[in-house]
Every structure is written in C-alpha cells, then in structure tokens.
Structure 1
Amino acid sequence: MPRLLLVPPDTRPPTLDLPVSLGRMTGADMRVPPAGALPHFFTPGDTDALADWLRAEGGQADALVVCLETLCLGGMIPARRVADPLDTALRRLEVLRELKGRHPKLRIYAFGVVVRVAHDNDPHEEKPYYGDWGRELRAYSTAFDRHARHGEGERAGLDAARAAVPADILADWLGTRERNRALHLAALDLLAEGVLRHLCVTLDDTSEYGLAAYDRRMLEARADELGVWDRFDTYPGADEVPCALLTRALREGLPSARAWVRYSGTLGAGAGLIYEDRPAGELVAAHLRAAGCVPADSMQEADFILAVNTPGRRQANVQPDLATVDTPHRHLPAFVDALRRDLAAGRAVSLADIAYPNGAERRLWGLLRGFPLAGLAGYSAWNTAGNTLGSAVAFGALSPLVTDRAEHAGALFSRLVDDALYQAFVRAEVRSALDRPSPFDLGEQYPQAEQELRDRMGPRVQNLWDTHFAHLPLEFSVQPARLAWPRLFTGVFPLTVREKPSA
C-alpha cells in the first residue's frame, strides 16, 4: 500500500477531500496535515507546523504532493494577501530540499499558482483594496501585457491604465506578484536539481492578455533555459492540480494512461472558455499531460473515455445561453447516446461538463435523468473548465487502479451532489431566498443561508442516491450540509459510503 502525503491549497472539499478519496479508492494510505496547520479562507495556515509535519512523516512516505503557496505563504488565497517577504518564503521552500536529502526515495510533486487577476472585485480572496480598485487593476494588467507583446503602439493605453490606479496600491499589488513569481522560479531550480519529481505552475482565472500570461512566458523561458519540460507543466488551472499530481504519483512505474476524448459537438475542441486563455481542445491536452496521460490513437486502445460537454461556440455564465452555448454546433442527445454505448461496451467513462462554468449544464443534467450515473468512472462540473477537466482526468486515469468500490462511489456521488445538485440548482434557490446577499460575505445572513441549504439539499441528495446508487451493495449516510466559507460559492456535503454488511 503506497503512502502519500498531501499538502493542499486549502480545506475545501474539491481541494482536500476529493484528492484524498481518489487516493483511497486505489488503496493508498493518504496522509494530510492536522487541520490547525492548514489555511481557512483568507486565514493563513501555520507554515512552521507544516514543515514539522513533513519532517515527521517524510521518512515513511512514498510520495508528497505539495502546494507551494501553502508551504511557503500559508495557502493559495493567503499568498495573495500576506506581506511575508521573499526571503522568508524561500527559506520555507528549503524544507523540500531537506526532505529529499534525508529521504532520497521520496518522490516530491509540487504545484504553484500564478497570482490571478480576479474577474470580480473580491476584497476577501484578494487584498482588501481589490474591492475598490479591481476594475482598474484588471485594466492595467491587460494594458501591461499588450504593451509587453506589441510594443510602443500600446504605450498610451498602458500610461492611462497606470494613472488610473493609486501608485501605492499598484506597487503593493505588483510586489505580491513579483514575490510569488520568484518563488515559482526557485521551484523550477529545485526541479532542475532533481529535488522535485514534477512541477506544475498553473494560471488561475486567466485570459488571453494579462499579467498571468506575462508570468507564464517568464516561466516558459526559464524552463527553456533549464531544459526541464519533460517534468514541468504550466497551463490554466489551480484547485484541481492536487488530483493531477496525485494521479502521477499513483501511476508511477505504469504505462501512461491513454484517453480517448469525446466532445459533445464536432467542433468542441475549438470552443472558447471564459476563465482560460485557450480553446477547449488545447486545455484538454494540457490537463492530460499534467496528469501523465496521453491521447489514445483509437477508442479501442483507450484506458478511459474523457467525455467533454463543451459549449456550442463559447462558454457563458447564465443558463440557458442560446447564443453561444446551446447552439446547433452540438447535439446533446447524440452525445448522451454515445456515452450509453460506451458504458454498455464496458469502457470507463469520465464526464467533464464545461459548457458553463460553476456547475453542471441543466439541460445535460435533464438528459442524464435515466442514465446509469453510478456506472461512470468519474464526473466533474465545478468552477472553471480547468478545475472540471483536471478532476475528470484524474477519475478516468485512476479507474483501472480502483480497489475500494465504496470509496470510488463516494467520490463520484459527492461530485454529482456538489457540481450538479448544488452548483447548478440549489445555490441559485438559496440566493433567491436571501435578501440581496453579497457574493463575497454573507454577513448576518450566514445562518439563514445554511438552513436554506440544509432544507433544500437533504431531499435531493437522498433522491439521487435512491434513483442511481441504491441498487449497489453499498449504504450511505449523510450529515447536514453547510458552507465552506461565509459565501454561497462552495458547499460542504459530508457523506460516507460503505459496503453493506454481509448477510
């Protein structure tokens, strides 16, 4: 039984519980730091406690999957907010070199996240001033990158964008980015030295132009210099990377998992995405590579089918969108029919629904009403297209290794509950029941929101189990739902799936 250590970006279910379940379904002994050492929302974790935990656990582990921001700056969100200097972050990074020196057989898979340029004026996931100056900072980000790429013809736009932001705020915001970029460049050096087995530095909420794209080019140039592309990936993603690197760790020594990609439309690979800088097909290719997978040359030789529900032409935020998503560029009934045939033929199918960000497409979910959902190898439809794809790829690539059927069913059922029932339906209902709640902080409406969540989710969760999973030799129990943070974006739906006791 392999033993894997995981230092996640935070404690939300998709970033902590999901990778732990994916590991356990293959029989792995998954170890995570004590809760008090991990970040909660924008409160940093205890970096000293994390280092001590790694020193204590490293000698008994086969592999470590570690978020650089958690280890060095207290968490993915705290890394955008804390004032810790670069030399402090780099000193904390040195624990990885120490671990590798003490335990040469320990395989270390690390990931970092390029500081995002948030689409929303969120004063909690970003520094407080972002709530007032987010629009202007985004404009500066775009103007800077346009100037960097296209030269002096973009100078006037850059000057205007710089003048629109108070100098002290701009300097602080850019300083945070520069510190984190330096941390990622130092991680690339560790990769070149052999301390790290694989490194992913991903781009969260990115776009074609912006400071994230500028940072990516700097990372790519350094990777060129070091010659580490066989062990390095940089692409749009963030929260799902623990699943990708866990997949690499668990499949170490095995042939690369081969994926046959089935899109919901013939032009699906070219579909545009809202929070990524490339079309769907290129994003799929990046996520397959990050998890150590390769495209299959034929469906017959594939280890799993990655079924991707793409928008007709481009993602949209509001359902239904008849202009760009639900168009004649795809035919969902034929897509579902093909998935039925795949399952009937005994193929492992992992479904990634990226037609809309932040939850399942309601039309597709309706078509899946009579579908054998419990037969899927995986399902994902959460947050960005990258978050969804990375999770679905991990489900599919690990499906041949599953030894604990109850753990797999629990991981699959949890995603169906969260990504479809909550994200696509109940979250909007809860929002409507409240009095114009802030998307960033529910404030005094927090208790009411959680009560609405419990009342609305309980019957739906039970019905989903009874309809699709009750025929299996499994039993499940569920605890009351709650919110991960004081906002509606992420729900927590604690459930346990076990094998039924023998008669």
Structure 2
Amino acid sequence: MPSRVLLIPPDTRPPTLELPAALARMTGTDVAVPPPAALPDFHTPGDTGLLGRWLEAEAPMADVLVVCLETLCLGGMIPARRVSDRLDTALGRLEVLRRIRDVHPSIQILAFGVIVRVAHDNDPHEEKPYYGQWGRELRAYSTAFDRHARHGEGERSALDAAHAAIPADILADWLATRERNRTLHLRALELLHAGVLNHLCITLDDTSEYGLAAHDRRLLEARADALGVWEHLDIYPGADEVPCALIARALHPAPARVWVRYSGLDGARTGMAYEDRPAGELVRAHLRAAGCVLADTPAEAEFVLAVNTPGVRQAHRQPDYATVDTAHRHLPAFVDALRDDLRAGRTVSVADIAYPNGAEWRLWTLMQTLPLAQLAGYSAWNTAGNTLGSAIAFGKLAAAVTDRSAHTGALFARMVDDALYQGQTRAEVRGRLVAPSPFDLGDQRAAAEAHLRELITPRIRALWDTHFAGTGLPLEVGRAHLAWPRLFTGVFPLTVGGRA
C-alpha cells in the first residue's frame, strides 16, 4: 500500500478535493495537496508555476501522483475552458511530469484530462462569457458538425446553417480553445506511450451522442489505437469523480470483482441525461477506470455496486412518472435486496443515478429502514458518471480501510451532500430567494447561506442520531456555506472524531 499521495484536483469543491483525499486517508495513506494559492477558485485559474514547483519539491517524498492535466497546465478544469494561454505554454507546463519520472522512476503517475464540454446551459461563468448569449447556437453547430462528420453530405445544409448563425470571431475562438486542449490530451497520450504516465483517463464532461466532444473522443481513440496504449488508458464519460477512481486504482491495484445490482431488470439499458451511452456501458467504463471487473455471481464479488437507475431515462424534476418512476423497476424489491446483501455480510456501495444532481427522494425514504452506517459507500450527486465513479471508489477501497472514523466521515458527508442537500434542501433554499440566477446568486448569496444553515443543520444532526450514533464516534458540525456563488455546490464542514 502506498504511503503518500500527491493530489492535484480539477478544482476545490468538496467532491473533487476533500472526497478523494478522504478516501485515501481512510486506508491510512497520507495525502498532500497544493497550497490554496496554487489552486483555482471557481473560474479564476490557479498558479501553474507554483503547482509545478510544488510537485517537484514534494515528489521525493511521494509514492503516487494523481494529477488533473487541466489544473497543471491551464489552471483548472473550468479555467481551461476560459483562459487564452498559448498551446506551447501549456505543453511546457506538462513537461514537469517527464522531469519527475526521470528523477523518480518508481513513482506512480496517474493523470486525467477532460475533453472540453459543450455545456447544456448558457452559462457565462463556467464557459467563456459569450456562451451566455451564443450557447444555443454553439450547441447547434456542435451537433451539426458531428452529424456531418459521421453521416456525410446529407447533413451539409444543417451544418452550413449552424455555421452562419454564429459570429465568425466567436466560433473561431471557441474552436481554438477546443483544439488547444485536445492537443494537450494528444501529448498526454504520448507521455503514456513513453512510460512517463502509469495510467491516463480522458473523460467527457456533460456529453451527448452527437457533438464536438464525441468528435474529439474519436480523434483521441484513433491516436490511442496507433500508439497501442489501451491497456493503461480509459476514455469515457466522466469528470469530477476521476480523482476518486484513480486513487482507488493506485491504492488497491489488484483487480476487484464487482457484482452490479440494478433497481430494474432492464436497468443497464436505461438512458442518461449527460452521457452518450446507456447505464450498463457507463458502469463498465467506470469499473475499468478504477481497476474493477464484473463478477459472475455475488458470492465471488469483492463488493456489490447497487445502482438505482431510472425506469427508462433520467429526468430532472422529481417525481417524474414518465421516464423515471415507472413500472420498469421496483424500488421496494431493490431495497429488500440491499438489506439481504448487508445481512449476508457483503460489502455494498450505492450509486443513485435515477435523477442527475441529487438523490431520488423516494429511494432515500425507503432506505431509512436500512442500517445506513453499514454501507461501504453512497453517492447520488451531479451526473451519473460523477455518482458511479465515487461509489465504485468507495467499494473498491472498502477492504483496505484502516481508519474507521475517516471512512464514516466520508460516507456520512456524501449522504449529507447528495441526499440532504442536493435531494431536498437546495430546492427549498432556492424557493426562499427572489428569482435567483442558476449561474451567480449575486447579492443573494448571504441570504442563501443563512437559509441553508437554518434548514440543513438540524437535518444533519437528525441523520447522524438516527443512523450513525451507534458507531460510538462523535460528530462536530460546522457552518454550512456555498462553495461558489451559486446553489449548485454546498460545503458542509463535518468532523467525525476518534479511531477504531
């Protein structure tokens, strides 16, 4: 088991920084992260020079490096979509990994990059400012370009119309940013081929069947074919969860067999809102990234991945009786099976992907009859990929847990964020505000945080008293607040004390 990990995350939100660090610490592994001044703050880029110097200074004391390429080379996952840094500058920053490999040949270097998304919303803060005005037209161009590339001249008129609808300078800038970042990923493939990297994940954030992200994916896959690097490469839909997956891969390198239990008999075929493939293929991709394989029976599995899928396809508003809560699944039977797994002593990690961006409240209510503190993992946040990668990492590392309080804290934190906040409280806070923007709360942020603390603090304590008091571990609850000036991500300071 490695004793020290260096982590360069995509940003500083709790699920992308604190969760992967907590997963490592629950196995007794020391985790070091860069100083705050080096890391991005929302769309403000981090200090790439400081990051590189920090890496070279810390590498002699480390066994594993898990690094987000966008943070290292462009200041962060979101800044990478906004900054105007030159390609040669970004590639020069990447060379620090080659220098570290030359000086420290035994260190494991696991890296990941995120193909530039085509955002579903007209967000002027996570994207370039012009996306707030031209997002719809850029999305139409993205789809038309890929359809033309795949299906030929029959799609030419749609592509020409989409091209004509966008100012030339905006389209050129948007495409140049994509090309720069794709070239960075192509260089990372070369580092993988050269042995500088031990493993590489290139993921697609908020993707769909057609679009420029799918086009980039095919280009990268073709280069991977030419280099023959697939044994150490994963390209699949994901983003925020990849640090968790790579930490699980590094700290538990042996392949883990996993029995996947879906909430519906056809769960593997259900459709996702932010991914380009059905749930079953998405699960297989995330299992491989973390170093897991499918088991043939529960008895031979190292852990059970319990996946709550929609009846047919994900939807955004709960309850949705058209595509999610349908006769294609039976949640009481799913919960009964989880209870039986726990009684049989199986390791169980739950991934709730029925709805994006929070737990399905019907399932969460049914799960209150389970001994939640006995779960190895729980996740229900953001995209299906974010949820799956987090839950799989919990499951794979369960056998390596040496710090019970750290594991309990990580598990409880996900329930607080994914169920209590994302699944319940966030909508209530929004309802108390005056027409809040989903992109920037502006002068309503303070009021939002006050409402957040009022609503969620007693719920946190009630959840602990009901399901975790029996662990004998003490809980301290800090002041809840928002990670960024929007409701999308909350921060819930929790300290679970003691060691067992």
Normalising TM by the smaller chain, what interval? over 0.9
Query: How far 1:263 moved relative to its partner?
Result: 0.2
1:84 aligns with: 85
Letter in structure 2 aligned against 1:487:
R
Query: How far 1:298 moved relative to its partner?
Result: 1.2
1:443 aligns with: 442
* Equivalent pair of 2:405/2:499 in contact (CA under 8 Å): no
1:422 aligns with: 421
Letter in structure 2 aligned against 1:141:
S
User: Aligned pairs, how many?
Assistant: 499
Q: Aligned ranges for residues 273-352 of structure 1 at < 5 Å?
A: 273-352=272-351
2:49 aligns with: 48
Question: Which SS does the other structure have where 1:84 is aligned?
Answer: coil
Question: Which SS does the other structure have where 1:111 is aligned?
Answer: strand
Q: Aligned ranges for residues 132-281 of structure 1 at < 5 Å?
A: 132-252=133-253, 255-281=254-280
* Equivalent pair of 1:63/1:106 in contact (CA under 8 Å): yes
Question: Which SS does the other structure have where 1:499 is aligned?
Answer: coil
1:100 aligns with: 101
* Equivalent pair of 1:38/1:70 in contact (CA under 8 Å): yes
- Matches of 1:6 and 1:170, distance apart in 2: 35
Letter in structure 2 aligned against 1:300:
A
Q: 1:236-275 CA deviation, whole Å, 9 max, x = no partner?
A: 00000000100111013xx311110000000000000000
* Equivalent pair of 1:473/1:500 in contact (CA under 8 Å): no
Letter in structure 2 aligned against 1:433:
R
TM-score (structure 1 length as normaliser): 0.99
- Matches of 2:296 and 2:313, distance apart in 1: 27
Question: Which SS does the other structure have where 1:315 is aligned?
Answer: coil
- Matches of 1:168 and 1:373, distance apart in 2: 54
Question: Which SS does the other structure have where 1:71 is aligned?
Answer: helix
1:457 aligns with: 456
- Matches of 2:240 and 2:278, distance apart in 1: 20
Query: How far 1:473 moved relative to its partner?
Result: 1.9
Q: 1:131-177 CA deviation, whole Å, 9 max, x = no partner?
A: 00000000000000000000000000000000001000000000000
* Equivalent pair of 2:403/2:499 in contact (CA under 8 Å): no
- Percent identity (aligned): 73
2:481 aligns with: 482
Question: Which SS does the other structure have where 2:474 is aligned?
Answer: strand
Letter in structure 2 aligned against 1:294:
V
1:17 aligns with: 18
- Matches of 1:71 and 1:249, distance apart in 2: 20
Letter in structure 2 aligned against 1:228:
V
Query: How far 1:500 moved relative to its partner?
Result: 7.3
* Equivalent pair of 1:4/1:64 in contact (CA under 8 Å): yes
Does the alignment pair 1:362 with 2:350? no
In structure 2, relative to structure 1, the CA distance for the partners of 1:500 and 1:89 (3 Å cut) is closer
2:469 aligns with: 470
- Matches of 2:140 and 2:49, distance apart in 1: 37
Q: Indicate the larger mover: 168-177 or 367-376.
A: 367-376
Query: How far 1:371 moved relative to its partner?
Result: 1.4
Unpaired segments of 5 or more residues in structure 2? none
Q: Aligned ranges for residues 360-439 of structure 1 at < 5 Å?
A: 360-439=359-438
- Matches of 2:202 and 2:241, distance apart in 1: 12
Query: How far 1:77 moved relative to its partner?
Result: 0.1
* Equivalent pair of 1:475/1:500 in contact (CA under 8 Å): no
* Equivalent pair of 1:349/1:377 in contact (CA under 8 Å): yes
Q: 1:59-112 CA deviation, whole Å, 9 max, x = no partner?
A: 111010000000000000000000001000000000000000010001100000
Letter in structure 2 aligned against 1:119:
H
TM-score (structure 2 length as normaliser): 0.99
- Matches of 1:477 and 1:424, distance apart in 2: 22
* Equivalent pair of 1:62/1:107 in contact (CA under 8 Å): yes
Query: How far 1:2 moved relative to its partner?
Result: 1.2
Question: Which SS does the other structure have where 1:142 is aligned?
Answer: helix
Letter in structure 2 aligned against 1:212:
A
* Equivalent pair of 1:311/1:356 in contact (CA under 8 Å): yes
> Where does structure 1 differ by over 2 angstroms across 4 or more consecutive aligned residues?
none
Letter in structure 2 aligned against 1:136:
E
